[in-house]
Chain A
Amino acid sequence: MKIDVTHTAKLANIKVSEQEKKVLSKQLDDTLEHVGRLKEIDTSKVEGTNEVTNLTNVWREDEVNPSISQKEALMNAKRSYNGFFVVSAILEENS
């Protein structure tokens, strides 16, 4: 098993240097080999567990409750304008 570190880093939105790639590649391969032990266990007749509480359909009444203010919601943002978060453009203009 060889993990494609460049592709995985892109999916994860993580920047990794060439040096880091080498280290990560080896470490991730080792970890995958370790967890590969699970193949030893027969699970052909078993359903997977998503969560352990066995609760289903947890609802609440659709009521408006107090929440944090717009000012508080923005107080940690590096950039804000007129009560909005400012994000960098992701689309390029046609020239």
Chain B
Amino acid sequence: MDIHSLTVIEAKEGLKKKKFSSLELTKTFLDRIIKIEPKLHAFVTVNEQNALSEAKNADKLIADGKEKELTGIPFSIKDNFLTKGIRTTASSKVLDDFIPPYNATVVSKLIDAGIVLLGKTNMDAWAHGSSTETSDYGATRNPWNTEKLPGGSSGGAAASLAADECLAAIGSETAGSIRQPSAWCGTVGFKPTYGRVSRYGVIAMGSSLDSPGPITKTVEDAAFILQILAGKDPFDATTLPSKPENYIVNLKKARKMTIGISDDYFNGVDSEIVKAVNEALEVLQKAGHKIKKIKLFDPKYAIDVYTILQRSEVSSNLARYDGIRYGNDRTFFGEEAKRRIMLGTYALSAGYYDAYYKKAQKVRTLIIQDFNKAFEQVDVIIGPTTPTTALNVGSSKDNPMFGELMDVLVEPSSIAGLCGINMPVGFSKEGMPIGMQIMGPQHGEEQVLYAAYQYEKQTDWRKEKPNI
């Protein structure tokens, strides 16, 4: 097997057994990046020189037996995570020349664990979107077919991993931005419970929703990386005080689960996707898990709740960009950012606050209560991640609700602050990946990872590789 196809766990083993060095590994990915990027454009910034010196340093640590959890493992990180000394743009020209003076907590943890940072990945500008087309630096393409979109907003992250330009990618999700591009690019994408992973140093979008998480080739890699990222952070008051469980150990603890399915999550979904998800459910049923029909709040209302809450939080968060302390002034905002700031400003303005923002907050309560009831009966809930497979480049243009329509099936759980994962469950006739989501309750990381691992053990979709 080529070393770029390895998982994080396999590469760790290879480094430990001296089958290859971190420098070889890093050079392999940098060569692939040079070769593939003209077609894919998954990166905004490639961190070549630093990556090579980090790799040499990692090899020294390994030789001295001083390696840590991720020493010498090449990662990509979405460009909305602050990286000290490395330009961070959130794919917006407002931050075109911004060099952060400090690291996001997620970045500090990964650096402490020993990663090699290959570069910063492209995204919808400010993470506003589900296509990566709203990036001020140009769209990322889907590695399975470069005429298609990778999804978003972590489209560069998912594409960089699917094209084997890194061993693991870090993304962030507000409502769908890890799971939806993972579905479209055929990767495992984990969105933790809100507060499980620190938001400190992640360029704020929807502060009551933002959740950083890993995009990986396997569930085991996701569990391994999540273990490093999870935990209370004194710099983020919304991080959960409880100690994270041991995700890796729990993956292998055999038990039977009850899986909930709701018809509303299959309505209006492409028949190929419905079929693939039903087949995946059969795999889980054969493994001894029980399927139970449940009724959930119609996901279509989540679009409206999310649209109001997200635009409102955006208008507040993006108010800080004045071009005085860093970055460029407000004339540099792109169309999508302007549209969202304007809608949020309106929804929060005097006379309209009750009708929009307050109303959305109340429906948010109903969605949370509805999930709470469902999780009294089931351990996890399974459904399709997206209503369609990857759409053509250009599809998001002129549709201000594009992101919301593509994220309809993941928005309810994001609004409720739940955790969830996208699992690759096959391919469409066109050869595009199909994704299935597994949702868990708040703090239900280990249940979700276990269910995902149960499926993954019996399938081998990972062996399929895009021809790029």
Instruction: Give chain A's interface residues, CB within 8 Å of chain B.
Output: 3, 5, 8-9, 11-16, 20, 24, 27-28, 30-32, 34-39, 41, 43, 46-53, 55, 58, 60, 68, 72-73, 75-78, 85, 87
Contacts and interface: CB of A to CB of B under 8 A. Distances in A.
Contacts of A73: 101, 325
Contact of B339 (A24, A60, A75): A24
Interface of B: 97-99, 101-102, 194-195, 208, 234, 237-238, 240-241, 300-301, 303-305, 307-308, 315, 319, 323-327, 330-331, 333, 335, 338-339, 341-343, 345-346, 349, 356, 358-366, 368, 400-401, 416-417, 442
Contacts of A28: 339, 342-343, 346, 400
Given A8-B346, A15-B331, A77-B325, A41 B417 contact: no
Contact of B304 (A27, A37, A60, A78): A37
B363 A43 contact: yes
Contacts of B98: 76
Contacts of A85: 324-325
A8 B208 contact: no
B305 A38 contact: yes
Contacts of A51: 208, 238
18 contacts: A3-B346, A8-B346, A12-B341, A16-B342, A20-B338, A24-B339, A28-B342, A32-B346, A38-B359, A46-B362, A46-B366, A49-B368, A52-B416, A53-B417, A55-B195, A58-B238, A68-B101, A85-B325
Contact of B330 (A15, A24, A43): A15
Contacts of A32: 343, 346, 356
B195 A30 contact: no
A76 to B, nearest CB: 3
Contacts of A76: 97-99, 101, 325-327
A28 B342 CA distance: 8
Contact of B365 (A3, A47, A72): A47
A75 B87 CA distance: 13
Given A52-B417, A78-B323, A8 B101 contact: no
Given A38-B360, A87-B324, A31 B345 contact: no
Contact of A52 (B194, B324, B362): B194
Nearest to A44: B362
A50 B346 contact: no
Per CB-CB distance, the 8 closest pairs between chain A and chain B, nearest first, are: A48-B361, A52-B417, A76-B326, A43-B362, A72-B101, A58-B237, A12-B345, A35-B304
Given A8-B345, A38-B363, A52 B301 contact: no
Nearest to B414: A52
Contact of A43 (B240, B319, B366): B366
Nearest to B237: A58
B292 to A, nearest CB: 25
A84 to B, nearest CB: 11
B321 to A, nearest CB: 10
Given A49-B364, A76-B99, A77-B325, 16 more contacts: A8-B345, A8-B349, A28-B343, A37-B300, A38-B301, A43-B362, A48-B362, A48-B364, A49-B362, A51-B208, A52-B195, A75-B101, A76-B97, A76-B101, A76-B327, A78-B324
B81 to A, nearest CB: 17
Task: Name the residue in A28, A34, A52, A85 with the highest tally of chain B Cβ atoms < 10 Å from its Cβ.
Answer: A52
A83 to B, nearest CB: 13
Nearest to A47: B365
A5 B240 CA distance: 40
B343 A31 contact: yes
A77 B324 contact: yes
B296 to A, nearest CB: 14
A8 to B, nearest CB: 5
Given A15-B330, A43-B359, A55 B238 contact: yes
B29 to A, nearest CB: 29
Contacts of A78: 323-324
Given A34-B401, A78-B323, A53 B342 contact: no
A34 B364 CA distance: 17
A51 B300 CA distance: 21
Task: Name the residue in B194, B195, B315, B324 with the highest tally of chain A Cβ atoms < 10 Å from its Cβ.
Answer: B324
Contact of B356 (A9, A15, A35, A52): A35
Contacts of B360: 35, 38
